[in-house]
Amino acid sequence: MEAGALRQTVAAQRLEGWRPTDEQLADLGRLARAELSFGEYLASYRARYPPPAPAPRRWVLRRRIPYLIPGTTLLRNNFGVTEPSVLIELEFAATAGRILGWQQRIAAGQVGSADLDARVIHQQVFGDVYAWAGEYRITELRRGDVAFGWQADIGARMDEITGHARALVTDRPADAPALAYELSRLYADYNQVHPFREGNGRTGTLLLHTVSAQCGYPLDLSGITRADWYSASADSMPFRRDGRANHRPFLPLLVRAVGDP
C-alpha cells in the first residue's frame, strides 16, 4: 500500500514537471510510513523560506488582477512568498504530501461517491497553497496558443464530467480496455474545461485514480512521460474554445496504465 501510493504520487507530480531530490523522496517516504505528521512535513519546508516582511503600503491606483500579487505575475499564495522558484518548491512539497494522503485513502478503500468531484480533490490537494482552492476559476484561461473552455460554461460542463465519473462507478465498464476508453473521454473533457486557475493536471489525474479504484481497477501512471502526456493534452484540444475535446490521444496511454482487477 505504502509503495504504490508513493509511486503514484511521484508519477503525478513528475507529469507536472517535478524533479524530486533524494531528500524530498525520503521525506515523502517518512510521511507515508507515518513517521511524521503532514503538519511536521510541511513545516520543515516552510521554515526554509520564511515570508518576507510586508512592504510599505503604497497608495497607487491600479487595476486589481484576480489571483496575482499586485505588480507581479505570481499567484497569491498562503505562504506569503514572492519568489517564483520558492512558490514552485513549496507548492510541490505541499501537494505531494496531500496527493500521497489521497492515494493512501484510495489504497485503503476509503474513497466514495462524494470524492468524485474535482472541487473536493482540488481543495484537498491545493488548500495549503491557495485561498481559492476548490473553487472554479473566475477568469478566462489560456496557455500559449491554447484557449480553454469559457469561464461561464465551467459549472455546467463540470456537472457533466462529475456525472460521467459517478455513472462509471455505478455501471462499471466490462473490462480494463473499456475503462481506459471511458477514462480517456473523461480526462479529455476535463482538460478542455481546465476548471481551476492552477492545479488542473494533478486534480485531473487524481480524479482518474479515484474513478478507476472505485471501478475495481488499478491505475499506474508511472510509465507515462511528461512529454507524452502533454502531447496528448495538446492533441486532444478542439480548434474552437466551445468545441469538444478529442479523447483519442489519451487512449493508448491509459490502455497501458489501467491494470487488471
What CATH number should be reported for the domain holding residue 216? 1.10.3290.10
Is residue 157 within 8 A of residue 235, CB to CB? The reply is no
Domain that holds residue 180: 2-54+74-137+146-257
Tens digits of residue pLDDT in 158-201: 999 999 999 999 999 999 999 999 999 999 999 999 999 999 99
Average pLDDT, the chain: 94
In a domain, 199, yes or no: yes
pLDDT band at 141, cuts 50/70/90?
very high
Q: How many CB atoms lie within 10 A of CB 74?
A: 15
In a domain, 16, yes or no: yes
In a domain, 62, yes or no: no
In a domain, 64, yes or no: no
Tens digits of residue pLDDT in 44-70: 999 998 877 665 555 444 445 689 998
In a domain, 65, yes or no: no
Q: How far is 205 from 83, CA to CA, in rounded Å?
A: 27
In a domain, 102, yes or no: yes
- What is the CB-side half-sphere exposure of residue 150 using CA atoms within 13 A? 8
Tens digits of residue pLDDT in 84-129: 999 999 999 999 999 999 999 999 999 999 999 999 999 999 999 9
Q: How far is 193 from 14, CA to CA, in rounded Å?
A: 22
| Phi-psi domain of 66 (left: phi exceeds 0; alpha: psi -120 through 50; beta: other) | beta
Q: Is the pLDDT of residue 42 over 80?
A: yes
Q: What is the mean pLDDT of residues 1-8?
A: 88
**Nearest residue to 131 via CA among 70, 191, 78, 189:** 78
Count of the separate structural domains present in the chain: 1
Is residue 134 within 8 A of residue 123, CB to CB? The reply is yes
pLDDT for the residue numbered 180:
98
pLDDT for the residue numbered 232:
98
